[in-house]
Amino acid sequence: MNFELDPHLDQLAGQARSFALEVLDDADFATDSWLIHPSREFSRALGERGWLGLTWPTEFGGGGRPPIERLVIFETLISMGAPLATSWFADRQIGPTLLQFGSDAQARRWLPQIINGESAWCIGMSEPDAGSDVASIRTTARQTSSPSDEWVINGSKIWTSGAASADWCYLIARTESDAARHRSLSEFVVDMATPGITVAPIVDMTGNSHFCEVTFDDVVVPGENLIGERGNSFRQVMRQMEHERGGIDRLVSNRRLYDAVMARTTLTDPVLRQRAARIESGYRIGRNLVIRETVGQAPAGFSAVTKTLCTELEVEIAEFCGSVAQMGALEWSDVARAICYAPAYTIMGGTTSILRNIIAERILGLPR
Ligand SMILES: Cc1cc2nc3c(=O)[nH]c(=O)nc-3n(C[C@H](O)[C@H](O)[C@H](O)COP(=O)(O)OP(=O)(O)OC[C@H]3O[C@@H](n4cnc5c(N)ncnc54)[C@H](O)[C@@H]3O)c2cc1C
């Protein structure tokens, strides 16, 4: 079986590499860059290059290109540590969600600014008392009496990545008080400049503060910002999570660190060599799983497997880098940071325990 990609894709990866090196300085590259390293300038540069909305239909201004091309470009950029956090959520999942569940008018309103790299988005799903169990969120959206057709939002979200610099929040709120838990949620696009929104950055144990607590206090949202079917958010979220879980960002977040560590070691210790061999195999297996998701060949729900395998590998890589650096990890700030940050990989986007439940129940059909 031949796992090599078509040569034009290798060329595309080379172009992505040259592009990043041309427009960025050394200091602009960082591990975990798609999540913690924003840059409006780089987002616009990607837009000008035509690499945002690359796969979206041309009638909406997208590139109409095959998904595998997007994978190859962003595999390269994330592995290098290019600052993608401004554009990533919108390009990865908000655009596809608007295309799938939004109206034509909504797609024409929001997609162009994502494609140009002009807008930054955050995702308001998790709450202080509702993370894994999205259906138990308490943030409410109440419709004002017609004809104004507005919604008033109250509640708070937590761990909202990029909220402090976002223009828009893709928010999930409870709209029905008398329906079943899974039929009572709806989705809205909320302008982050709306009065009543307070954003408080949270400092994580690496000292970074990319995620935030966001409070909504009588925040008024126009009726036309409701996305998809009222009360149907749970199904829409599940689809959105497929975009979030099966992508290349779940495999190569700390590839930059791994490459740097490997370049600084000769790996004479046989145990470390075995661990490196495991990681190298993991990269190849993970990449094949991501390719399967990307080209639409993975079974429904399989992104739970892809994310579990890939993010557990990322944790293993951080531990491996620590073992190679040993006491030097304390001086080598990238490694120390990676060790502290590693637990995040298997929490964000759905914890590994939750994904294993999904694998057991929905993929393997095991009893609850
Ligand atoms: C770096 C980072 C970025 C994030 N960015 C965002 C963001 O942008 N937007 C957003 O909305 N959220 C974001 N999150 C939040 C993330 O989605 C939640 O942390 C995650 O879903 C888990 O929810 P929780 O923290 O409330 O933990 P809980 O749901 O309280 O879970 C606590 C523990 O219990 C386990 N557990 C819970 N239920 C079960 C069960 N039924 N079976 C077995 N085990 C179970 C979990 O696996 C976990 O180990 C981010 C998180 C991180 C770490």
Would you say the CB of residue 241 lies under 6 angstroms from ligand 1? no
- At residue 187, the 3 state secondary structure works out as strand
Pocket lining: 13 vs ligand 1, CB cutoff 6 Å:
no
Per-residue pLDDT tens digits of the chain, which is 368 residues long: 677 889 999 999 999 999 999 999 999 999 999 999 999 999 999 999 999 999 999 999 999 999 999 999 999 999 999 999 999 999 999 999 999 999 999 999 999 999 999 999 999 999 999 999 998 999 999 998 765 789 999 999 999 999 999 999 999 999 988 778 788 999 999 999 999 999 999 999 999 999 999 999 999 999 999 999 999 998 898 888 887 889 999 999 999 999 999 998 888 999 999 999 999 999 999 999 999 999 999 988 899 999 999 999 999 999 999 999 888 887 768 899 999 999 999 999 999 999 999 999 988 999 88
Q: Which overall architecture, per CATH, does domain 7-119 show?
A: Orthogonal Bundle (1.10)
- In this structure, whether the domain defined by 246-363 belongs to CATH 1.20.1050 is answered with no
pLDDT given for residue 300 in this prediction? 86
Catalytic residue among 69, 242, 244, 314: 244
Q: How far apart are CA 35 and CA 54, in angstroms?
A: 20
**Rounded (5°) CA angle 244-247-248:** 140
Q: Is 176 one of the annotated active-site residues of the chain?
A: no
Cα(267) to ligand 1 centroid in Å equals: 36
Where do the domains of the chain lie? Answer: 7-119, 122-233, 246-363
Residue 144 DSSP symbol:
P
Residue with tokens 């129940």: 361
Topology of domain 122-233 in CATH is Butyryl-CoA Dehydrogenase, subunit A; domain 2 (2.40.110)
Ligand 1 atom closest to the Cα of residue 126 is: 11
- CB-ligand 1 contact for 160 (6 Å cutoff): yes
As a whole number of angstroms, the distance between CA 151 and CA 179 comes to: 18
What is d(CA 364, CA 309) in angstroms, rounded to the nearest whole number? Answer: 16
pTM of the model: 0.95
Greatest Cα-to-Cα distance within the chain, rounded to the nearest angstrom: 73
Which residue, 219, 211, 296, is CA-closest to 38? Answer: 211
Q: Which of 215, 218, 212, 220 is nearest to 191 (CA)?
A: 220
Q: Are 30 and 256 in contact (CB under 8 A)?
A: yes
Structure tokens at 48: 């000008």
To test the pocket of ligand 1, the residue of 31, 88, 132, 210 to mutate (highest count of ligand atoms within 8 Å of its CB) is 132
Identify whether the C-beta of residue 290 lies closer than 8 Å to the C-beta of residue 251.
Answer: yes
Q: Where are the beta strands (DSSP E) in 82-150?
A: 121-124, 140-143
Could you write out the DSSP letters of every residue in 107-125?
Answer: HHHHHHHHHTT---EEEE-
Q: State both tokens at 88.
A: 């990533």
